[in-house]
């Protein structure tokens, strides 16, 4: 599903009006009607219900005035709370404000001295609130009297329908810098705005409904640069297997991972690669761990590599690994490797010399702390899978700074380093070097446990081995990984969820997505 910024949506609206000749009043009328539909779905019936409409001076307020008219016509009692000087209302919003005033609906000026008392009384008597205060142009923080209004609405705990976007959310980033309407449902128009699917906005959006307001299909279906991952989109990337298929057609994943005390990470990545459909998987570990790996991962082959005295991979294993890449089609590098100085040296040498697509995870990323520029020199396509801490180390900044604008951070890094970036976390961001990004809606807090990142790395590699391009393999892998976590959580709950549960559910997720005939 395509996502848009506020500016992109304004341009779509402009073209609908100027190029296609659809009057702005028609778009506003349709938007208001969609809000009324949401109100009716929430309340079940409109007759005799009391609805409070919070309206600002812009087009968002205009949508609220349209909704007020149709709600009143359907038998609802409507109270309009205006958070603006009526003289500041212009254009299409003014037309609809004047209609409401001429029909003598109750309109209260929230700037007046006793307005908060009036609002509290209205909220007590209301069945639902429509938030039409601020639209997608909002930036910064709601302050003053309007902030008090927002807090009063949230404290009233009534159902709230947000018009296009909850007031207080920034449309492009999802940032919430102060008081913000907590909606039960958000009715957004035409296309979802990027910020609506990101944290912390997710805490305020409620159920997100994308409403058709008669925008021409060519305007809203044109190719964009940001998308929300959906099952249908992932399905379109994964082709059925031919009847005469053999394992050689689905790639060979080489997992270079593990160290003394951290063999589990290596094994999880290898099993995930197998479960996500790779034809062959070889798990390469320090020689002292090969027997353990072979016992734990029966569906994969194993390879023992030269090791240090501490049981980590030695630079002496570089030649073995490079020789094996002539047989493998994809590499996973990093799970459980450790940050032993000699192993770090090996990782850097591999990144600069490998010639097959590679997923860099965990300690492979830690080896590049403060030296992310080395990613640019890679000869092969790279997919990196940092969590905020690892991304912070790559960029010499704090996880908090990374989290302050996850989308911008991931997109900038992908462009700067020339690779696919998977910035893990709630609503994982998958950013490609060519400017296309995906946001993943699957997954749950139960997946915040050791080993789940290793499973993700193996899942992406397994799909990459099946000849998906890196960005799509990463996006599909993240979506399937999150879906498997959701399926496992539904069965076992979130508190006891472990990485192995996700692996167990991967085949069922792939079956649902119809990866096979």
Residue whose C-alpha is closest to residue 275's, from 21, 20, 18, 499? 499
**73-81 average pLDDT score:** 96
For the cut 50, the answer to whether the pLDDT of residue 516 exceeds it is no
Q: Residue 517: its pLDDT value, please?
A: 42
Closest CA to 332 of 351, 311, 352, 309: 351
Residue 428 reports pLDDT greater than 90? yes
Partner residues linked to 303 by β-bridges: 284
The percentage of residues in the chain with a pLDDT greater than 70, rounded to a whole number, is 99
- Give one word for 473, left, alpha or beta, with left for phi > 0 and alpha for psi -120 to 50: alpha
For residue range 223-240, what is the model confidence (pLDDT) as tens digits?
889 999 999 999 999 988
Token pair recorded at residue 394: 């790559």
Residue 215 contacts residue 27 (beta carbons within 8 Å):
yes
Predicted local distance difference test score (pLDDT) of residue 445: 96
Q: How many angstroms separate the CA atoms of 390 and 313, rounded?
A: 21
Cα torsion 285, 289, 294, 297: sign = negative
Give yes or no for residue 514 having a pLDDT over 80: no
Higher-confidence residue of 324 and 113: namely 324
Average the pLDDT over 96-102 and give the result: 96
Residue 162 has pLDDT above 70, yes or no: yes
Does residue 329 come out as left (phi exceeding 0), alpha (psi in the -120 to 50 range) or beta?
alpha
Quick one: CA dihedral 1, 473, 240, 277, positive or negative? negative
Using one digit for the tens of pLDDT, what is the confidence trace for 361-409?
A: 999 999 999 999 999 999 999 999 999 999 999 999 999 999 999 999 9
Neighbours of 108 (CB within 10 A): 17
Largest distance between two CA atoms of the chain: 86
Q: In what order do the strands lie in the sheet with 160-163?
A: 106-109, 77-82, 50-55, 128-132, 160-163, 185-189, 207-211
pLDDT band at 487 (very low <50, low <70, confident <90, very high): very high
CA 53/CA 133 separation, integer angstroms: 9
Straight-line distance from the first to the last Cα atom of the chain, in angstroms, rounded to the nearest whole number: 25
pLDDT at 462 over 70: yes
In the structure, how many helices (H) and strands (E) does the chain have?
20, 18
Give the pair of three-digit tokens for residue 393: 């180390």
Task: Dig out the tokens for 437 from the structure.
Answer: 């990004």
The neighbour count for residue 180, using CB atoms within 10 Å, is 27
In which band, very low, low, confident or very high, does the pLDDT at 515 lie, cut at 50, 70 and 90?
low
Write out pLDDT tens, residues 257-277: 999 999 999 999 999 999 999
User: How far is it, in rounded angstroms, from Cα 149 to Cα 160?
Assistant: 13
Q: Which domains does the chain have, with CATH numbers?
A: 2-224 (3.40.50.10260), 253-512 (3.40.1190.20)
Q: Which of 81, 69, 13, 61 is nearest to 39 (CA)?
A: 69
- Cα(258)–Cα(429) distance, integer angstroms: 26
What tokens were used for 282? Answer: 């070889």
Q: Give the pLDDT confidence score for residue 356 in this predicted structure.
A: 97
Decide: 296 and 267 in contact? Cβ < 8 Å.
yes
Residues with Cβ < 8 Å from 353, sequence gap 6 or more? 318, 322, 379
Peptide bond into 482 cis (omega under 30): no
Decide: 400 and 422 in contact? Cβ < 8 Å. no
pLDDT digits (tens, 9 = 90+) for 338-347: 999 999 999 9
CA angle 411, 190, 152 (to 5 degrees): 85
| 255 within 8 A of 270, measured Cβ to Cβ | yes
C-alpha 89 chain-centroid distance = 36
DSSP symbol at 242: P
| Structure tokens given for 221 | 């279906």
Report the distance separating Cα 402 and Cα 479, nearest Å.
Answer: 22
């Amino acid at each position: 599903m395509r996502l848009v910024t506020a500016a992109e949506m304004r341009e779509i609206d402009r073209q609908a009006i100027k190029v296609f000749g659809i009057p702005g009043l028609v778009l506003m009328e349709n938007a208001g009607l969609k809000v009324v539909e949401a109100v009716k779905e929430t309340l079940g019936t409109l007759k005799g219900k009391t609805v409070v409409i919070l309206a600002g001076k812009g087009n968002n307020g205009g949508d609220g005035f349209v909704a007020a008219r149709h709600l009143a016509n359907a038998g609802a009692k409507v109270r309009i709370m205006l958070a603006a000087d009526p003289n500041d209302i212009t254009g299409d919003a003014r037309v609809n404000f004047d209609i409401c005033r001429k029909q003598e609906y109750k309109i209260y000026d929230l700037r007046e001295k006793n307005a908060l008392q009036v609002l509290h009384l209205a909220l007590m008597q209301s069945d639902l609130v429509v938030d039409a205060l601020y639209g997608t142009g909002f930036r910064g923080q709601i302050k003053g009297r309007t902030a008090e209004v927002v807090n009063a609405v949230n404290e009233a705990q009534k159902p709230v329908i947000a018009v296009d976007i909850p007031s207080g959310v920034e449309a492009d980033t999802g940032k919430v810098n102060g008081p913000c309407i907590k909606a039960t449902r958000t009715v957004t128009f035409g296309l979802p705005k990027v910020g609506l699917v990101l944290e912390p906005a997710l805490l305020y959006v409620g159920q997100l409904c994308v409403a058709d307001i008669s925008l021409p299909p060519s305007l809203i279906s044109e190719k964009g640069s940001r998308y929300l991952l959906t099952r249908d989109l992932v399905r379109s990337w994964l082709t059925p297997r031919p009847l005469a298929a053999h394992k050689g057609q689905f790639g060979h994943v080489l997992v270079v991972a593990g160290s003394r005390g951290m063999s589990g990470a290596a094994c999880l990545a290898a099993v995930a690669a197998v479960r996500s459909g790779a034809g062959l998987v070889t798990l390469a570990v320090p020689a002292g761990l090969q027997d353990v790996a072979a016992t734990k991962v029966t569906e994969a082959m194993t390879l023992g590599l030269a090791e240090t005295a501490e049981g980590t991979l030695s630079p002496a294993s570089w030649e073995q690994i490079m020789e094996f890449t002539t047989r493998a089609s994809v590499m996973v590098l990093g799970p459980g490797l450790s940050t032993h100085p000699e192993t770090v040296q090996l990782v850097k040498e591999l990144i600069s010399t490998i010639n097959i697509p590679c997923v860099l995870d965990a300690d492979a990323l830690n080896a590049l702390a403060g030296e992310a520029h080395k990613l640019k020199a890679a000869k092969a396509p790279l997919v990196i899978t940092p969590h905020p801490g690892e991304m912070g180390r790559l960029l010499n900044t704090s996880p908090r700074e990374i989290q302050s604008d996850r989308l911008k951070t991931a997109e900038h890094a992908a462009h700067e380093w020339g690779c696919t970036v998977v910035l893990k976390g709630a609503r994982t961001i998958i950013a490609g070097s060519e400017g296309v990004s995906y946001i993943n809606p699957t997954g749950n807090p139960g997946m915040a446990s050791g080993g789940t990142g290793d499973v993700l790395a193996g899942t992406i590699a397994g799909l990459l081995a099946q000849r998906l391009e890196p960005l799509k393999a990463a996006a599909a892998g993240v979506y399937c990984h999150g879906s498997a976590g959701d399926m496992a959580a539904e069965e076992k709950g979130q508190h006891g969820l472990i990485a192995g549960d996700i692996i167990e559910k991967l085949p069922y997720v792939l079956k649902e997505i119809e990866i096979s005939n």
